[in-house]
Amino acid sequence: MYTLPSKLKITAIILMVVGLIGLVIGFLDAPDNVEEVKEMMAAQSHHGEEAEHDEATANMNEEGYIETAGRGIKGSDATQEVDHPVAGEGAHEADSEAHYEHLLHQLQTKPWSALFVSAFFFFMIALGALVFYAIQYAAQAGWSPVLFRVIEGITAYLLPGSIIVFLIVIFAGTHFFPWQNEELVAEDKILQLKSGYLNFPFFLIRAIIYVLGWNLYRFFARKYSDRQEEVAANDYRPYRKLFKASVGFLVFFIITESLMSWDWFMSMTPHWYSTLFAWYIFASLFVSAITVIAMVTVYLKKGGYIPFVNDSHLHDLAKFMFAFSIFWTYLWFGQFMLIWYANIPEEVTYFTMRIENYNLLFFGMLILNFVFPILLLMNSDYKRVPLFVLIAGTIILIGHYIDIFLLVMPSTVGPNWYFGLPEFGGLLFFLGLFIIVVGSGLGKLKLLPKNNPFLKESEHYHY
Amino acid sequence: MSSHYEAPIREPLVTGDKSYHDVSVEIAAPIEGRANKSWWIVFSIALVAFLWGLGCIIYTVSTGIGVWGLNKTIGWAWDITNFVWWVGIGHAGTLISAVLLLFRQKWRMAVNRSAEAMTIFAVVQAGLFPIIHMGRPWLAYWVLPIPNQFGSLWVNFNSPLLWDVFAISTYLSVSLVFWWTGLLPDFAMIRDRATKPFQKKIYTLLSFGWSGRVKDWQRFEEVSLVLAGLATPLVLSVHTIVSFDFATSVVPGWHSTIFPPYFVAGAIFSGFAMVQTLLLIMRKVVNLEDYITVLHIEYMNKVIILTGGIVSVAYITEFFIGWYSGSPYENYTYLSWGAATGPYWWAFWALITCNFIVPLSLWVKKLRRNIMWTFVVALIINTGMWFERFNIIVVDLSHGRTPSSWAMFSPTFVDIGVFIGTIGFFFVLFLLYARTFPVIAQAEVKTILKSSGEKYKKLRAEHGDE
């Protein structure tokens, strides 16, 4: 039996407290009105020279175009703005006023986005682990049953994690989802067209279905896997039920995951669309989850809690980390290259924003998510060394945090991003929560699942 | 690699009371025996179809592309449809031999050899189309970046059609090498059994002096694993590049980011359907029912369910995003309301029925273990996947951005003749293969006989498995 060491527990609590403080400060620091934004801007830039100001406004206009085309902030007809550039001093003033208004909105959104990035990052690890678990059952894998309890422990975070994410997307309102702004929709033909799908009641219902469905599977998976321990040997009825539930869950998941990605991420820029988007998010979710499974396995193995897990199991997990890092890159490239190649204005805005304002992060994550894993985990021997798995795992997790950061931030706060107190606070808070929930989740389980039909194969597994 | 222990819950992969010797004898039998009458009949039909197709190709090349049904709006139709269809079929072979090897699926061992053969022969058919659909195929060598006397005029590396050249040729060569290395121990077995001097000589040449030493086997396995590791990204990238032919364009319906993984899933889907079509007949004709069991068929049907499911999600995505984009041009793409009700409605509904509705029946365990039904579904999927490519290409092109250039397409007998010719050619090759090559990787099957053979599983059940 595993118990979360008190030292780790206290560390996690400290992380949560510090993180919470960071988040609260982030929310308090956000400006309340346009005047405050102007003060903040004045404090930041001590110039005030007219020429520079003009240049800044010109840049803002360009940003405005990218924003408008992708996100639909100021109405649908983005090209109109470009065709009729601001003429005269009066229009200039009005435009800069609108810009401050826009800036205010982005700065108010910033703590929300920081909260969401971290909340979703840790939630998706639990969800991805659940998918991995279901796949292992559906595929009747012979190597992994000794890891089932470890995975079940990680998925303990699904319930709190999914509720938090659910509450954030429901209450974020126009901070994340411009299509929830009725005034905006009234003057935007494209958003009106989409309102059959993008409307709040339907959005809410869908979110409830996803969260409910995922948690139900996790509930029944735990139930059946416990029952399998209680029944007589060679009675595999609970196992068969779990097998069927897993197959059903996978079908449910592939559909709800697509809808979730469109709802919670793609509709942040409601004018933009990409058919691959949902699968791309899946790749990120899946590889992060496998990485965490591997890292938790290494941790428990080191503590001596799972003596039945050997380095062949670790080798397999590391292979999955390696393979799905490449798979993620494949989808990243597929989406990016096709949009870059065709260069259709309404699509390319998504990447223009990211390359212009997030250049280092955008291309840097490729090194973290692709180059490092491929080099570190190519060698078969390295995949059996816990230290290598931990190093590669840490890099992969940082890379995919950045990936989620890049899904959200450019769409919500635009160019006004920095990695500050709320972002850091969110990360620490959810890390602490994740450690506590997963730790106590593991504490409730017997780490060796008895009676699983493939358990013996798994215990004797050697590659 | 894997231990000899196997969970009793797993069904046996080799049925009957087989010894190692039985495996050799039964797999060598078709090679050592003589072809029967029905083989000659089928072979003649395939040969005639091939020769007819060859005639159509010669006619096209010598007269001009105008003998096909293409028009100014629809510049690609049956040619590229067939190309993508054949490449897609080829993908299952690599999936079975490479991806399933990486996932340590023992059941692949009974089907990998024929699936790889199918890959090679399908890619050969596919490879014809990029050449013969050219207006000036005799200048085809210009696609290669060879230093030349035009001031070293080179190709433009920005075109997915050029990437196709590299993708397909690499795919064919790697598949061929992978297949052949796997064949070495099997050719050696035939060589060692051969009694006729001519046959002995041929298989001596083919088996490259394989003697089956420990060191050889060690390296053999290492090479297989490395090739499988290379072939897996290759198989994904090849059909991805084929999908780029469409997705990099700005044609409504073609420009879609989901194409790369969706084409790959579709390729595996259609490829497995073709493997089913071929193996269901082969196991019967060559008496291999003990090796290609109902369990194998069920497993392949499960792969079909999985990839068919992925393809269906992609259909839904395409349909949804087509609507969601709000672009009026997206209203006549191959998966849209316009396509479902427009002049190509029959092609749309053929696609939905064949690829989405009919394969759903495989969710029923009884049906996916039913050999006749599997065969029917496999044929339907092959048809459906042809329609998928036809729809993507022709339906999307027929109603482009400018209404004044909207057009319909109807094939001529030459279009159809060339397609029939490739089917004939494929079967000519496959039938010859089935008579001269060991159609099951006997060396590999022997490695699982004691862990997964019915006889040994029974022994373990009686005497305990310690």
- Among A140, A273, A456, select the one facing B324 at the smallest CB separation: A273
DSSP SS3 for A401: helix
pLDDT (tens digit per residue) in A201-240? 999 999 999 999 999 999 999 999 989 888 887 888 999 9
Long-range contacts of A92-96 (CB under 8 A, 24+ apart): A92/A57, A95/A57, A95/A61, A96/A57, A96/A60
Q: Tell me what the pLDDT averaged over chain B comes to.
A: 92
Average pLDDT estimate for B342-350? 92
* Helix/strand/coil (H/E/C) assignment for every residue in A108-130: HHHHHHHHHHHHHHHHHHHHHHH
| A277 reaches B (C-beta below 8 A) | yes
Beta bridge partners of B453: B14
To the nearest whole percent, how much of chain B has pLDDT over 90?
80
Residues shown for chain A: 463
DSSP codes of every residue in B220-254: HHHHHHHHHHHHHHHHHHHHHHHHHHHHTS-STTT
pLDDT on residue B3: 57
Tens digits of per-residue pLDDT, B286-305?
Answer: 889 999 999 999 999 999 99
Nearest Cβ partner of A275 from B8, B240, B321?
B321
Supply the pLDDT for residue A54: 47
Share of chain A above pLDDT 90, in %: 62
pLDDT confidence tier of residue A190, bands split at 50, 70 and 90: confident
Give residue A35's pLDDT: 75
B189 neighbors B438 (Cβ within 8 angstroms) = yes
For the cut 60, the answer to whether the pLDDT of residue A430 exceeds it is yes
Q: What is the pLDDT of residue A154?
A: 94
Return the number of other C-beta atoms located less than 10 Å from residue A319's C-beta. Answer: 17
Cβ atoms of residues B156 and B116 within 8 Å:
no
Q: pLDDT class for A45, splitting at 50, 70, 90?
A: low
Using a cut of 0.90, tell me whether the model's pTM lies above it: yes
Q: What is the pLDDT of residue B162?
A: 95
Is A56's pLDDT higher than 50? no
Q: Poorest-confidence range of A126-135, A390-399, B7-16? A: B7-16
Q: At what angle do helices A50-71 and A345-357 cross, to 10 degrees?
A: 130
For the cut 80, the answer to whether the pLDDT of residue B438 exceeds it is yes
Of B248, B309, B326, the CB nearest to A251: B309
Q: What is the mean pLDDT of residues B312-337?
A: 88
pLDDT of the residue at A92: 60
Cβ A460–B3 below 8 Å, yes or no? Answer: yes
Please answer yes or no on whether B10 and A334 come within 8 Å at the CB atom. no
Q: Assign B14 to helix, strand or coil.
A: strand
pLDDT above 90 (res B339): no
Does A391 have pLDDT greater than 90? yes
> Are the beta carbons of B324 and A462 separated by less than 8 Å?
no
pLDDT over 50 (residue A85): no
- Among A276, A286, A313, A461, the strongest candidate for a mutation testing the B interface, having the largest count of B CBs within 10 A, is A276
- pLDDT band, residue B92 (cuts 50/70/90): confident
In chain A, where are the structural domains located?
109-459
Residue B273, Cβ density class (10 Å: 0-12 exposed, 13-18 middle, ≥19 buried): buried
Residues of A in contact with B324 (CB under 8 A): 194, 197, 262, 273
Is pLDDT at A57 greater than 80 in this prediction?
no
Alpha-carbon Rg for chain A in angstroms? 24
Query: Rounded to whole angstroms, how far apart are CA atoms A203 and B5?
Result: 51
Interface test with chain A among B324, B334, B337, B448, by most A beta carbons within 10 Å: B324
Strand partners, B286: none
Nearest one of B184, B193, B181 to B224, comparing CA atoms? B181
* pLDDT 10s digits, A409-418: 998 888 888 8
State the ipTM, two decimals.
Answer: 0.93
Beta bridge partners of residue B349, listed in sequence order = none
Q: Which of A45-54, B90-99, B231-240 has the lowest mean pLDDT?
A: A45-54
Q: How confident is the model at residue A86 (pLDDT cuts 50, 70, 90)?
A: very low
Kindly identify which residue of chain A lies nearest to residue B11, measuring between CA atoms. A140
Q: Is the pLDDT of residue B448 over 70?
A: yes
Q: What pLDDT does residue A368 have?
A: 95
Q: What is the pLDDT of residues B380-427, one digit of tens each?
A: 999 999 999 999 999 999 988 888 999 999 999 999 999 999 999 999
pLDDT digit string, tens, across residues B105-152:
999 999 999 999 999 999 999 999 999 999 999 999 999 999 999 998
- Do the Cβ atoms of A331 and B5 come within 8 Å? no
Copy the structure tokens of residue A398.
């940082």
SS3 state of residue A158:
helix
Contact residues, chain A, for B325 at CB < 8 Å: 273
Q: Which of residues 193-222 of A touch B (CB under 8 A)?
A: 193-194, 197
What average pLDDT does this structure show over A172-187? 87
Q: How far is CA B165 from CA A12, B92, B124, B172, in A?
A: 55, 20, 13, 11
Q: What are the DSSP calls for B87-120, one per residue? A: HHHHHHHHIIIIIHHHTT-GGGGGTHHHHHHHHH
B237-283 pLDDT, tens digit per residue, is 999 999 999 999 999 889 999 999 999 999 999 999 999 999 999 99
A50: confidence class by pLDDT, cuts 50, 70, 90:
very low
More confident residue, A104 or A197: A197
- In angstroms, the CA A157 to CA A288 distance is 14
- CA–CA dist B348, B334 (Å, integer): 7
How far, in Å, CA of B181 to CA of B183, rounded? Answer: 5
Closest C-alpha to A412, from A32, A124, A73: A73
Q: Which of B5, B240, B316 sits opposite A457 (nearest CB)?
A: B5
Is a pLDDT exceeding 70 seen at residue A80?
no
Q: What is the mean pLDDT of residues B423-439?
A: 94
User: How far is A14 from A21, CA to CA, in rounded Å?
Assistant: 11
Residue with more model confidence, B452 or A288: A288
User: From CA A150, how far away is CA A448, in angstroms rounded?
Assistant: 9
pLDDT grade, residue B1 (50/70/90)?
A: very low
Q: What is the mean pLDDT of chain A?
A: 86
Contact state of A338 with B321 under an 8 Å Cβ cutoff: no
